[in-house]
A and B are shown apart, each in its own frame.
Chain A
Amino acid sequence: DGGITQSPKYLFRKEGQNVTLSCEQNLNHDAMYWYRQDPGQGLRLIYYSQIVNDFQKGDIAEGYSVSREKKESFPLTVTSAQKNPTAFYLCASSMTLTNYGYTFGSGTRLTVV
């Protein structure tokens, strides 16, 4: 079955560490997105990519980095520069140049310890 796989489901980070969240899709979607979700707040866009080897900052990109070397993969690195990284992270994908909607992964919960 086609879908989006996020791993790990739970991740713990020590202060000053960089961690990388994985997102893989086999839907042949062109565009991929990373969102952050905090309690009581809506989803906020971190980064997005509409094509391989290209990505754009979203609304809250500071302290995060991404790469898009393959169409299927869009990993997110949470760097030590992100001062409040504890949150639920969601990856999504969509087809560009179509009227289709988004498909989401099951999320990664990151906690700073």
Chain B
Amino acid sequence: KQEVTQIPAALSVPEGENLVLNCSFTDSAIYNLQWFRQDPGKGLTSLLLIQSSQREQTSGRLNASLDKSSGRSTLYIAASQPGDSATYLCAVRPGSNFGNEKLTFGTGTRLTIIP
């Protein structure tokens, strides 16, 4: 059974710093990995989707990397801003045949950017 872990559970950094959030998964047979952001009391907003054949994806100040063989992904946030404060979740989709789109989620990292 796939297990997804995000450590640390909470992280506080001063504004302007670069930071890395970690996601690890136990079964390397994944189809893709998706990073989400969740603000308090809100739904999930997709940030980046990285396919199993890709090594990284970039969107603005965000960069996600994927090392499937080691079961790890990182989300790099450059020049952090107070508006980046949120919970960040990663989720993996199994690499079985088409038609299996159920994601397994990590428990998230709650990020606080200190002004």
Quick check: B98 and A104 within 8 Å, CB to CB?
A: no
A89 to B105, CA, bound (A): 15
> Chain B residue with minimal CB distance to A6?
B43
Query: A63 at the A/B interface (Cβ < 8 Å)?
Result: no
Quick check: A45 and B91 within 8 Å, CB to CB?
A: no
Quick check: B46 and A101 within 8 Å, CB to CB?
A: yes
Quick check: B107 and A41 within 8 Å, CB to CB?
A: yes
A111 to B103, CA, bound (A): 26
A92, A102, A109: the one contacting B41 at CB < 8 Å is: A109
Tally A-B pairs: CB < 8 A. 56
Q: Quick one: which of A58-113 are within 8 Å of B by CB?
A: 58, 88, 90, 92, 94, 96-97, 99-107, 109
> Chain B residue with minimal CB distance to A94?
B101
| Chain B residues with a Cβ closer than 8 Å to the other chain, count | 24
A97 to B51, CA, bound (A): 14
Query: A48 to nearest B CB, angstroms?
Result: 6
Given A33-B102, A106-B42, 18 additional A-B pairs, CB 8 A:
A6-B43, A31-B101, A42-B106, A42-B108, A43-B105, A90-B43, A94-B101, A97-B99, A99-B32, A101-B32, A101-B46, A102-B44, A103-B46, A104-B45, A104-B46, A105-B43, A106-B43, A107-B43
Query: A2 at the A/B interface (Cβ < 8 Å)?
Result: no
